[in-house]
Amino acid sequence: MKKHVVLYKKLSPTLMSRLQQHADVTLIDEPNRDGLARLRAALPHAHGLLGASLKLDAPLLDLAPHLEAVSSVSVGVDNYDLDYLDRRGILLSNTPDVLTETTADTGFALILATARRMVELANMVRTGQWKSNIGPQHFGNDVHGKTLGIIGMGRIGEALAQRGHFGFGMPVLYHSHSPKPAVEARFNAGYRSLEALLQEADFICLTLPLTAETQGLIGARQFALMRPQSIFINISRGKVVDEPALIAALQQGQIRAAGLDVFEREPLPHDSPLLQLNNVVATPHIGSATHETREAMAQCAVDNLLSALAGERPLNLVNPKAWGMRVSG
């Protein structure tokens, strides 16, 4: 008998067909809206869940007594209670590798767009305000040769460092839990304390996950350490940053500009002060949003889920403790 999978993210016809070959599938459209009731109704029969961008807390998962595995179409796992999943022996998997290069592309696009004031000046052309040659009041800043500071030197951080070092001749500084000699050798990168990096870097880029330790990591004190010409880039998670402190730093000229793909609240409220600032480039969480990468992420998630439901260890298992419980049990 096939196991039952509750899918709360649409798949391509090819991937949907593959999943249906191995499982009975219930697709829930828009689980954060009207579909939430359908999701709750489907959970008592679920052996597997596959989707993204939905917080799966204990009250919700308590409705799924047969649940064996959750496959997230994402890298971040801040929507999941790992302790709860471990206690129940529910396997959680993610898609960490396939979006690395695309997300780094997004990060560097934000670096270029903020430094050269691309959005602001493109809007000037679009609205008919370009009346004469561009003067100093509209000049941007160079990117090549400037110091790139990366906070969180994981896969995406390394991909960003590669672009800066080899493509733009940027000295690279980084901060992480511990020094990484291989990174230093490859990119001639320098390890710094968080405070030193904030003071030295021209571009400060966040590429670290949201955890209890990183939530609110960058606030008023950290922005005060940055220089007036610093440009701040966030492609990690919105809650790593104290957003009111960021707004104040931009309004008061403590930093030059910000390129933001993530926010404390998503979608970003229409009355956010960030939308009134010309020195902000804001994008709607598009880090991995290309046709190729999203399909690769979905394929990875399907692979992870089918492995778990077949009694195999998923390639991208997040919580090995739950696997240990399954094996020992």
Is 285 a known active-site residue?
yes
Catalytic pick among 47, 117, 175, 285? 285
List Cβ neighbours of 327 (8 Å cut-off, separation of 6 or more). Answer: none
Structure tokens at 61: 């998962």
Q: Which of 192, 237, 256, 294 is catalytic?
A: 237
Measured between alpha carbons, how far is 21 from 37 in angstroms, rounded to an integer? 26
Mention every residue, 6+ apart, whose C-beta is less than 8 A from residue 187: 158, 161, 162, 165, 172
Distance CA 19, CA 71 (A): 13
CA dist 64 and 323 (Å) reads 18
22 is catalytic: no
Residue 192 annotated as catalytic: no
How many angstroms separate the CA atoms of 111 and 261, rounded? 11
From the list 30, 266, 292, 312, the catalytic residue is 266
Angle between helices 100-115 and 155-162 (to 10 degrees): 50
- Structure tokens of 174? 């980084």
Residues 6+ positions from 43 with CB-CB distance below 8 Å? 6, 60, 61, 63, 64, 67
How far apart (Å, rounded) are the C-alpha atoms in residues 90 and 53? 19
Structure tokens at 267: 């979608």
Alpha-helical runs (H) found in the chain: 13-22, 35-42, 58-61, 82-88, 100-115, 118-126, 155-162, 168, 181-187, 194-200, 220-225, 243-251, 291-309, 320-328
Residue 166 to residues 144, 160, 189, 283, Cα–Cα distance (Å): 10, 10, 12, 26
Question: Could you give the count of Cα atoms lying within 13 Å of 327 in the half-sphere of its Cβ?
Answer: 7
Catalytic residues: 237, 266, 285
